[in-house]
């Protein structure tokens, strides 16, 4: 298995390591665990899906199961691996095996940790930050990760104050409390680089195909409205 070319499909980077500009909001469906989840993702064609490898997560998936699901994933849909203070060698190993294309860090990983990862793999790194107050964003702009993710908590379906990202001067993934009911508003108000959802597309702790479909449709509808508004404003 070779994995997805970082310059292709849902991976938000070009071959020379620059951000891919598509003119639309990227969509990441996280915490996928079953064949049914992957089949739905293949139908919807998000930019990225996510496998959670964090030990304490209720959505944790094994390396073996992730490999099987990755083999089912359509070319052009990238896979992110979500980790919390994991051994860098294990993280890099999953990337080298082609199970994941992007590394997403949700623990206390610092610049030295990211530097260590980059010595082991060339896969892009996303660093997540919990946002409770404006001061929490002071380290975001200077973070050495390729991308940052703004979150409210630990997959508990809670949003943060959406007035806070105005001080972030780099592209970011928006997560935390997103669902089919509020994601269009988030896209139109904040214009995030990506939206990232997990609990918001679940029913009873399992991914719900109806909610997955609704989420993706709402994002794409919001993008079309934003494009239409820009055209109207310009002419």
H/E stretch holding 78 reads strand 78-83
8 Å CB contact between 203 and 9: no
How does pLDDT run across 165-182, given as a tens digit for each residue?
888 989 999 999 999 999
Q: Given this model, what pLDDT does residue 115 score?
A: 97
H/E stretch holding 79 reads strand 78-83
**Of 59, 61, 72, 123, whose CA–CA distance to 93 is shortest?**
123
**Token pair listed for 23:** 């003119």
Q: Given this model, what pLDDT does residue 177 score?
A: 92
Q: What is the mean pLDDT of the chain?
A: 88
How does pLDDT run across 97-143, given as a tens digit for each residue?
999 999 999 999 999 999 999 999 999 999 999 988 888 888 999 99
Please give the CATH number for the structural domain made up of 26-129+141-154+164-229.
3.20.20.70
Residues designated as active site = 30, 151
DSSP letter at 165? G
pTM: 0.89
Per-domain residue ranges for the chain?
Answer: 26-129+141-154+164-229
Distance CA 84, CA 57 (A): 9
**Token pair listed for 175:** 């997560």
């Amino acid at each position: 298995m070779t994995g997805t070319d970082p310059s292709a499909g849902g991976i938000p980077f070009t071959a020379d390591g620059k951000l891919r500009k598509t003119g639309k909001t990227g969509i990441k469906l996280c915490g996928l665990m079953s064949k049914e989840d992957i089949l739905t993702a293949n139908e919807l064609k998000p930019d990225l899906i996510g496998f959670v490898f964090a030990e304490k997560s209720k959505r944790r998936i094994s390396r073996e199961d992730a490999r099987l699901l990755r083999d089912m994933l359509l070319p052009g849909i990238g896979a992110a691996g979500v980790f919390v203070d994991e051994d860098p060698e294990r993280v890099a190993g999953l990337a080298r095996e082609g199970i994941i294309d992007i590394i997403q860090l949700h623990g206390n990983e610092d610049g030295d940790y990211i530097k260590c990862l980059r010595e082991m793999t060339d896969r892009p790194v996303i660093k997540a930050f919990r946002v409770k107050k404006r001061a929490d964003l002071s380290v975001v702009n200077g973070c050495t990760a390729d991308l940052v993710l703004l979150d409210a908590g630990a997959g508990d379906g809670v949003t943060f104050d959406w007035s806070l990202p105005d001080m972030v001067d780099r592209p970011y993934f928006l997560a935390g409390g997103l669902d089919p009911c509020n994601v269009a508003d988030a896209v139109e108000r904040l214009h995030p680089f990506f939206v990232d959802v997990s609990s918001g597309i679940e029913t009873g702790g399992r991914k719900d195909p109806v909610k997955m479909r609704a989420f993706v449709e709402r994002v794409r509808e919001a993008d079309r409205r934003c494009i239409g508004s820009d055209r109207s404003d310009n002419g």
